[in-house]
Structure 1
Amino acid sequence: MIRPPPSLGLLDRVFRVLFPGVLFFLLNGCSSISYYSQLASGQLQLLRAREPVSSVIADPARDQKLRAHLTQSQKARTFASQHLHLPDNQSYRLYADIGRPYVVWNVFVTPEFSLTPVNHCFPIAGCVAYRGYYSQSAARGEAALQRLQGMDVSIGGVEAYSTLGWFNDPIMSSMMGWGDERLATLIFHELAHQRFYVQDDTEINESFATFVEQEGTRQWRASRHLPPDDNAQARQRARFIELVLDTRIRLEKLYAMALPPEQMRQRKAAQFERLRSEYRQLRDSQWAGDKRYDAWINAPMNNARLLPFGLYDQWVPAFAALFRQEQGDWLKFYAAVAKLGKLPAGERKAALQALANPPN
């Protein structure tokens, strides 16, 4: 086993020393000891599993496919810092074999007749619309408890996440099923979170990171003299998201009505069936029967399953307009984004709307 370099071991020791105080601070918010204990334990296990990517690549005993994949990832990682001006640290220059398909499982919860998520607030990340669990069984247990209380619940596996620069995030084995370019886009996306993050504003955080991912990938391809991606899959995904968001709008109107619970349930179910019907018509008429979204659409449906949609791209057009306004200069763009982030929430949203929808 390769011994981690001193900096990694030091970080582990610091984490162990600080954890009791951090836990005490978190528990002042009346959160459960068991939940935060599993978060700390899971993160510590991940930190201990890290090893330098360079060591894996240099080890002939390691899987050749893994070594080749990691070699390509490091080219993208260097491009991220040198050309996209993203943080130049040890994040994604480390590798961790976590031995499972997902690093965490997120549990999303909403009331039966509402699309407003049950939020959970954390000192570093702010308020988010889910709780993360390093154990799938723990996530299922939490989901079962919420269902017993009459809530709509969804569980989603996550292959990677960012600690926002608090730790050096590794490339994880859960990410190794992706192609070289998909892995590069994720590195751009997650490093963007380290460059800019606003507490309690998921839409701006994810839209910013998605824009950096998309523009960064375009420039990454150009640097390797590859033709632009025709974005057929991206257009298909955008159309699918549009269907889901339209369903959300209809459900919000429905939930605003003062209807008896049983009638509300019937109309709610009808909206989900309409979504399925519209999807199948689109799939068969325009996508040549492509079934990439069939598994999702055919699974049991509820409010909580709709929560993640729209969060990652709502303000992408606004950031694209700002990037053009700054003439494609990454440093000027980041400075302008930082100014946006300092505005009060209402002013920030108004500024983004003005960027996305300039007057004619």
Structure 2
Amino acid sequence: MHWPHRIPPLFRPALLIALPWLLAGCAQTSGLGYYWQGLRGHLQMLQAARPLPEWIASSDTPPALRERLQLAQRARAFAVTELHLPDNASYHRYADLHRAAAVWNVVAAPPDSLTLHTWCFPVTGCIGYRGYFAEAHAREHAAQLAAEGLEVSVYGVPAYSTLGYLNWLGGDPLLSTFVQWPEGDFVRLLFHELAHQVVYAKDDTQFNESFATAVERLGSARWLSTQAGPEARAAFAASEARRREFRALTRAARERLSALYAQNAREALAPEALAAMKSEAMQDFRARYAVLRAGWLAALDGAPSPAQIAGYDRWVAEANNAAFGAQAAYDGWVPAFEALFAREARDWPRFYDAVQQLAALPAARRHEALCALHPAAPLETLCARHPHPTPPPARP
């Protein structure tokens, strides 16, 4: 089952004008300058993209890149035939961006909450992050938010989705920012971005990102078990073990902070007391990470430290409410979606239909249904507000 986005030719020029709003959540710092950088940045990316067969056939293409683009072709076909992800123009072209990230996202949260600040746009709705094609512009906006008293985080994003709206322009391309990732991580990102073209719930970042994360996890597991070689499976298993342990660590820290902020909301703690308790929670988080990291390095037994560990190091060093809030958006509902996939007999079209039904519900009912699918969801979700949720109806 596929969900093509057919845009009538008459409306395509107007859509180009609207492009900055499409990119706003995934892409000057305010006003027209912000929208212009989104339009210009994406069009430059499209202009740099060439069809995969051209890159593969060119004698100028390095062998390692040629091999990876051939892998991308196989993974793209697998996404359609095995995962029933959209069969369209996306990820059939490649662009070398000559930079470290596709865009840089800015996220922000109050000093006493993990709830992300949101920005609202006509097409994407209200979302908890704002993207820039230039890191300097992202950091400029982050500084403005920090001056307003918010905690902010800026992080590079290797890819983003235009939700299928621009497949008539060639679709979203493969990018140099992630194409050389280890095989398992590469295919999971590809599946994640394609999942955004299947279902999108306006104004619900956590729903959208958790759904795509569930698809990437389930899809990459299928790929690795049927398509990858032993070396790729072993590398991914080690990477996934670290990722799983880190998720557990950060989830525990989020729950501790959430409980603290809930206590503050109830009791109006003195600012000094709140600051001390928050500092203690963060110090404990970083101490626990140091222990976890030491175990990772010991397991490597003298081998070079993977780049992922350096990424974890940076995240922990800069962790704050905004960083924790953004992370929650990517995995908060994942267990519920995985439970829904199992309930739908691991049938991809049935699963997507069930998710579309959830996306069509009002937000409160949608969250109730997700809580019913996985009552033990993390504290930062809305499950605490729905002690007796009603599960969504099962399909026959």
Question: What TM-score, normalized to structure 1?
Answer: 0.85
Partner of 1:264: 274
2:127 aligns to what? 128
TM-superposed CA distance for 1:155, in Å, is 0.6
Distance 1:259 1:240 in 2: 30
The aligned residue for residue 310 of structure 1 is 328
Paired residue for 2:151? 152
| Residue identity matched to 1:194 | Q
Structure 1: stretches of 5+ with no match in the other structure = 1-10
Give the corresponding residue for 1:196: 199
What is the CA-CA distance between 1:17 and the residue it aligns to? 6.0
* Deviation by residue 1:43-96 (Cα, 9 ceiling, x = unmatched): 111121111111101111222211111011100001111221111111010111
- Alpha-carbon shift at residue 352 of structure 1 (Å): 1.7
Q: Which moved more, 1:252-261 or 1:102-111?
A: 252-261
Moved more, 248-257 or 134-143: 248-257
Deviation at 1:226, TM superposition (A): 5.0
Paired residues for 1:240-251 under 5 Å:
240-251=246-257
CA contact (8 A) 1:108 1:153 kept: yes
Distance, in Å, in 1 between the alignment partners of 2:196 and 2:21 is 27
- Aligned partner of 1:208 among 207, 211, 229: 211
1:329 corresponding residue in structure 2: 347
Residue deviations 1:314-349 (CA, integer Å, cap 9, x gap): 222222222222222211222222112212222222
Per the alignment, do residues 70 and 288 of structure 1 end up closer, same or farther by CA in structure 2, a change over 3 Å counting? same
Cα offsets for 1:263-285 (capped at 9, x unmatched): 43333222211111122234446
Segment drifting more, 106-115 vs 260-269:
260-269
Q: Contact conserved, 2:116 with 2:326, CA < 8 A, in 1?
A: no
Q: 1:202 touches 1:311 (CA, 8 Å); kept in 2?
A: yes
Q: CA deviation at 1:310?
A: 2.5
1:1-360 equivalence runs, <5 A: 18-20=15-17, 32-167=31-166, 168-224=171-227, 226=229, 231-255=237-261, 256=264, 257-284=267-294, 288=298, 292=309, 295-296=313-314, 299-357=317-375
* Partners of 1:111 and 1:152 within 8 A in 2: yes
When the two structures are aligned, how many residues end up with a matched partner? 346
Asked whether the equivalents of residues 118 and 129 of structure 2 are also in contact (C-alpha less than 8 Å), the reply is yes
Q: CA deviation at 1:313?
A: 2.3
Contact 1:115 1:252 in 2 (8 A): yes
Aligned-residue Cα RMSD (Å) equals 3.1
**How does the TM-score come out when normalised to structure 2?**
0.78
Question: SS at 1:143's partner residue?
Answer: helix
Tell me which amino acid in the other structure corresponds to 1:315. Answer: W
Greater Cα shift, 32-41 or 279-288: 279-288
